[in-house]
Chain A
Amino acid sequence: MKTRAALFASGALAAAGAAAAPFQDALRPAGAQAAHIGKLWNFTLGLCTLVFVAIVVACLVALWRAPRADHESMADVSSLARPESRIHRRIAWAVGLSAIGLLALLAADVFTSRAMARLPLEGAVNIELVGHQWWWEARYRDADPSREFTTANELHIPVGRPVIVTLHSSDVIHSLWIPNLQGKKDLIPGRTAILRLRADRPGVYRGQCAEFCGLEHALMALQVTAEPSQGYEAWAERQRQPAPAPATALARRGQQVFLGTTCVMCHTIGGTTAGAGLGPNLTHLASRQTIGAGMFPNNRGYLAGWIADPQAMKPGVNMPANSLPPDDLQALLTYLETLK
């Protein structure tokens, strides 16, 4: 019966499991740190499965071999008078083996931690990541301050180069987790944490806030694009530029809408007078693939919906609804689309 239940469960799982997304999966490491953890996982899972099977089998054998009785059967209390040394010896052996198994797990854990701590850090990209309810602010640090830039909810990192992410929080505790690349690390107000990682395979990975951080904790994702160094440098260079001046009349009107309404109270667009820091930096909004902290595709339709009524898409988000006249909204969208 038990085995049948287990088979049923694993069958259902195999069917359901096949569809899981590969871009947010701890079992598909795409970076050095996640690969170390992946190896430890395989070892631990193997050992634990062995122990599980051994104990369940021992239990079943014991049940199968023991004779049956009912409540009137005479209880055998002979063991109270003389110790059952044969049984005790077997138990001692089993406990000894368990202790050895546990030591092996401890050793494997320590070796993994050491391997992860030895990630070479020359030429690292430095990112300061600040958690907000409910979005991520990323500041790319540089020895030369003029080369620093800020973006939101999206990271680009070079493949094969280490990345040092310095973690802060502006409000409550968040936790950064990009399972394909590295384990998670908490962003705790008043504290600074550091997460070191390296992507070894190009791709787009998804991260998500892992520590419950309030109403929209579920909608606080982050997209990480790992690309070869050249592509990364080109992206970073574009991000360092101020926003391009609007070229068309409609876009110019859109910029005036942006600068003339409440947008400007919270957002920054480099190269304009908009310089507020409450919401995400929008200088290169159009270069991002998602809006709403990794939750919605960045296209004109979603963007229009988001600007008009963000509360409908992400209830509780700190951005208010904006009842712009339709013409103004279209102009604003056109302007925002130029922010490549």
Chain B
Amino acid sequence: MTVRDAEQLEATWRDPPGFFGWFCAINHKTIAKRFMITTFVFFVLAGLLALAMRLQLAQPNGRVVGPDQYDQMFTMHGSTMMFLFAVPVMQAVAMYLVPLMIGARSVAFPRMNAFAWWIFTMGGIMLYVAYFLDIGPDAGWFAYVPLSGPQYSPGKRVDVWAQMITFTELAALMEAIVIICTILKMRAPGMTLNRMPLFVWTMLATSVMVLFAMPAVMLASTALICDRLVGTHFYNPGEGGDALLWQHLFWFFGHPEVYLIFIPPLGFMSSIIATFTRRPVVGYPAMVLALIATAFLAFGLWVHHMFATNLPELGKTFFTAASLMIAIPTAVQIFCWIATLGSGKINFKTPLLFVLAFFVILLAGGLTGLMLASVSLDVQLHDTFFVVAHLHYVLFGGGVFPLFGAFYYWFPKFTGRMLNERLGRWQFWLFFIGFNVTFFPMHILGLQGMTRRIYTYPEQMGWGGMNLTATVGAFMIAASVLLFIVNVLVSRRHGEPAGANPWGAGTLEWSMASPPPAGNFERVPVVHGRYPLWQPMQEPSHVTGLDNDDRVVLVTTVADALPDHRMALPTPSPWPFWSAVATTIFFIGSIVTPWAVVWGSVPVAIAATLWFWPKRAVAERRARVEVRP
């Protein structure tokens, strides 16, 4: 590969420059970076809301905010963390890494990928604009009816929430489709399913779950909007509707959602543990089967969020059994990782440190999860601060800690520079200790009767001391996140140059320069094992026959990744952006008036038509370069 070839490849796959080019970008790495930054901004915003809530609860009869503001705060915090941070950030990281890990030059459907990010961002902005206009949602992140219905939540607050769901779920569904197609059809030749990196497996499992989980909540929230805007009675018991229907539909999505957040980090764990123990993860087939089992079982647990309702007791026991059973695949993975740690040679660096926190924090969260799986225990613990503690142990231990580890691990690939190791260690310990100081006391507060979502509590309850402790811990977490931001900002410009493979890792994303060129691989590799960079090179080492001067990719078969056909991918375009603008007008308009569904569909139709308008040049190009089976 000559320098000229590399330059030509770069020119082919690069996003257009300039202000207008910014709106046309479709390169998966550009979109993924924007996506990660967007979700991180939402993470910080929701974190600031959490700090305000902790200040309010720091002492009895707190007067920092009133009930109306507090209700908006916890609703915004929960909704943001779940819908605008935790699920999308995993998809964003995957959007960057999956093509690099499987030897692809792009994701499938790059324009749809860009559209998904625009839609997501506009939905998030709408939510926060509404919040700053004091029409932020205030019915909790699971918005139980009838409280969220037309009678008890007049005004537009809940409509804003429900449309935010529509935005983010639409984006999540499209991202899932992009990821599934990329994984199944765009792997480099030789990367059979059983050679796929475990992170890619986690994203495949997660994305398939998204396809089944998200429609449930979109259906639920659409029915809610219909109840609120056009007077349907899906949830009105007085007219034959049912208040519990919402809970079934919501949690049929809501419980799998927890695993949408938890499964991708299992892939971070496997990537990081393999690299820093200098060996493959023990039990690859067991790990993959455990992931798939988790993805299936996750759909059979939702009723454990509803144990305090009057559902039949025998039926509840079934869900207790299912909830306990899902611990088995997680246990399999934990044991495989511990075995990997024990039988490898350990390179003790910050990414590994964050991953090790999983074994304390997620473990504790998982075990309290077993307590909540029991109907009898749950009726004492449900809707108390014990649950608040549990869910943060699970989401931090199984999500945020591995995610920070992943940032430390892949930051050199994203930027070409290392994050500062010393700051990283400081950040880790501040985070780890701060987290436990914040959330451990909440277990005890819950047992001592402190219910969740209360904006204040009387002094004689005796909850003041532990709440103050929790507030102190929350500020330690905030300091730790601040340290991370400083580390990123400084290291981005002044960090140690990373080189292609600073950690000595074995998977394909470390085979190209850091940051990767626009076309990812100068020569598309042929894969001969699970850890191509650790295993000896074999012939053929790369694919030939893909032009450098056109966006052509190799499409391979689903199971064995045999070359199937050569396909042309679309070029940068402003239409994903304009379609997203039109869709946003449609969605936001329908909050104000149902008629927006009628007139709002006109610009959407126009933008989509122009996006897909057939062009002679494109057709000729495809006829020239594509080879079909």
Contact = CB atoms under 8 A, between A and B. Distances in A.
Contact of A183 (B279, B379, B449, B460): B379
A317 B36 CA distance: 43
Contact of A73 (B278, B320, B328, B530): B278
A17 B466 contact: yes
Contacts of A188: 243-244, 309-310
Nearest to B456: A218
25 contacts: A2-B432, A12-B441, A13-B441, A16-B469, A17-B444, A17-B465, A20-B444, A24-B461, A56-B360, A58-B338, A66-B345, A67-B346, A73-B504, A77-B535, A95-B332, A102-B324, A105-B373, A109-B373, A109-B375, A133-B152, A172-B152, A184-B379, A215-B68, A315-B66, A315-B67
Nearest to A116: B376
Interface string B99-142: 00000000000000000000000000000000000000001100
A82 interface: no
A235 interface: no
B144 interface: yes
B551 interface: no
B144 A211 contact: yes
The 4 closest A-B pairs by CB, nearest first: A190-B237, A183-B379, A16-B465, A62-B342
B463 interface: yes
Interface string A96-112: 00110010011011101
B309 A316 contact: no
Interface string A30-52: 00001011001100110010011
Interface stretch (A85-93, A152-160, A332-340): A85-93
B156 to A, nearest CB: 17
A99 B329 CA distance: 10
B328 A95 contact: yes
A3 to B, nearest CB: 11
A278 interface: no
B327 interface: yes
A19 interface: yes
B282 A69 contact: no
A87 B376 contact: no
Given A51-B367, A91-B283, A71 B144 contact: no
B309 A193 contact: yes
Contact of B309 (A59, A70, A186, A210): A186
B147 A173 contact: yes
A79 B282 CA distance: 8
A75 B363 contact: no
A189 interface: yes
**Is the interface on chain A under 10, 10 to 19, 20 to 34, or 35 or more residues?**
35 or more
Contacts of B535: 77, 80
Contacts of B534: 75, 77
Interface of A: 1-2, 5-6, 8-9, 12-13, 15-17, 19-21, 24-27, 34, 36-37, 40-41, 44-45, 48, 51-52, 55-56, 58-59, 61-63, 65-77, 79-80, 84, 87-88, 90-91, 94-95, 98-99, 102, 105-106, 108-110, 112-113, 116-117, 133, 171-173, 175, 177, 179, 182-186, 188-194, 206, 208-219, 295, 315-316
Given A40-B374, A48-B371, A214-B147, A173 B243 contact: yes
Interface string B335-379: 110110111111110000000100110011001101101111111
Given A71-B504, A102-B324, 4 more contacts: A52-B367, A75-B504, A315-B67, A315-B68
Nearest to A58: B338
Nearest to B382: A184
Interface in B519-553: 529-531, 534-535
B451 interface: yes
B345 A91 contact: no
B244 A94 contact: no
A79 B280 contact: yes
A190 B243 contact: yes
A52 B363 contact: yes
B441 A16 contact: yes
A102 B331 CA distance: 11
A37 B376 contact: yes
A189 B310 CA distance: 12
